[in-house]
Amino acid sequence: MPHRALVVGDLMLDVFSEGHAGRLSPEAPVPVVLQSTRVYTPGGAGNAAANLAALGDEVTLVAAVGDDPEGLRLRAGLNAAGVKDQALITGNGPTTCKHRVIANGQQVVRLDVEQPAEPELTAACLDQVRRSIGAVDVVLISDYAKGLCTPEVCAEVVRLARALRIPVVVDPKGVDYSRYRGAKLITPNLAELNQATPANLSTLQQKALALVDSLGSAVLVTRSADGMSLFDGHFPELHLPTQARTVLDVTGAGDTVASIVGALLGRGLPLKDACRVANACAGVVVGRRGTSPITSGELLEVWEAELPTEAGVKIPAKS
């Protein structure tokens, strides 16, 4: 029986237009990019769901999407990644979209389209969560501050999961993390940690432990080139150096970390070991361009390097 995951959060379409820039426009002091490729991929909660599906999980994605061409592209991308779209809620507004233009290997501009989720959409998404949560092994909240992950939605998702003893992993946003109180793990990056903790706290340890105390959750801080640090308030903190050989694009790396940890917690792996594997997987995905999920084969290679003697936990076979 496959492991089952529920992803709740802000869904978006990631667009990458790449080409060569060799001259400036005569109309304005900006480069003219001769486009060579354009790629559409699921982003935000969609990337998290795609990561879980790539690892062999059966994924239910609860999110909002527009009734527009971008929404159709997004649904097609999710289906191609093995993520079913039957739990998506269609709204009246446009599909959230991030369009990145890359010239000569460097991002030159990003065009965003977004509209906050309407109350009817958030209510419908919560109804979908209530229908789905009893049949899953782990819950992932992917918050990109696009309107779906309101305090009421997040608190109710965590409450429902805790009542069923299902671990909740949160990829957070904003300055008020009280909406995530009671989750198993929160995964802010360093900038997000600084925004969410008092200015009078000066060290990484002070800031992370302040969140641990206030939320009752473990905190995994992703620190870019400095790796990751795990704090849970019970055991000494765990500092993991980065394993990235080359950093080409950090887009979606946070989704990868949260989804890998969630997938492994859902399989019964201890939190510290799940974070070790996720750290190594993040080093893989930042070495390629665009929003790209980890594959089961890559996970197996990381697993054999990080936890060669671990037994009793089922991981995907190499494809």
For residue range 146-195, what is the model confidence (pLDDT) as tens digits? 999 999 999 999 999 999 999 999 999 999 999 999 999 999 999 999 99
In angstroms, the CA 279 to CA 161 distance is 25
The confidence score (pLDDT) of residue 246 equals 63
pLDDT in tens, 106-159: 999 999 999 888 888 999 999 999 999 999 999 999 999 999 999 999 999 999
The confidence score (pLDDT) of residue 178 equals 96
pLDDT in tens, 221-240: 988 778 889 999 888 889 98
Is 53 exposed, middle or buried (CB count within 10 Å of its CB: 0-12, 13-18, 19+)? buried
The confidence score (pLDDT) of residue 112 equals 96
| Greater model confidence, 115 or 47 | 47
Inform me whether the pLDDT recorded for 17 exceeds 80.
yes
The confidence score (pLDDT) of residue 224 equals 77
Integer-rounded Cα Rg, in Å, for the chain is 19
Inform me whether the pLDDT recorded for 44 exceeds 50.
yes
Annotated catalytic, 68?
no
Sign of CA dihedral 105, 249, 208, 211: positive
The confidence score (pLDDT) of residue 281 equals 81
The confidence score (pLDDT) of residue 288 equals 65
Which one is catalytic: 57, 68, 255, 273?
255
The confidence score (pLDDT) of residue 125 equals 95
* CATH architecture type of domain 4-16+37-306: 3-Layer(aba) Sandwich (3.40)
> Collapsing DSSP states into helix, strand and coil, what is residue 201?
coil
Average pLDDT over residues 209-222: 95
Inform me whether the pLDDT recorded for 295 exceeds 80.
no
pLDDT in tens, 75-115: 999 999 999 899 999 988 899 999 999 999 999 999 999 98
The confidence score (pLDDT) of residue 319 equals 38
Q: How sure is the predictor about 253, in pLDDT bands with cuts at 50, 70 and 90?
A: confident
In angstroms, the CA 81 to CA 125 distance is 22
Q: What type of residue sits at position 171?
A: D
Inform me whether the pLDDT recorded for 249 exceeds 60.
no
> Collapsing DSSP states into helix, strand and coil, what is residue 271?
helix
User: CA nearest 42: which of 63, 66, 73?
Assistant: 73
Single pTM value for the model: 0.88
Q: Please provide residue 2's backbone torsions phi and psi, each rounded to the nearest 5 degrees.
A: -70, 155
Inform me whether the pLDDT recorded for 74 exceeds 60.
yes
The confidence score (pLDDT) of residue 32 equals 96
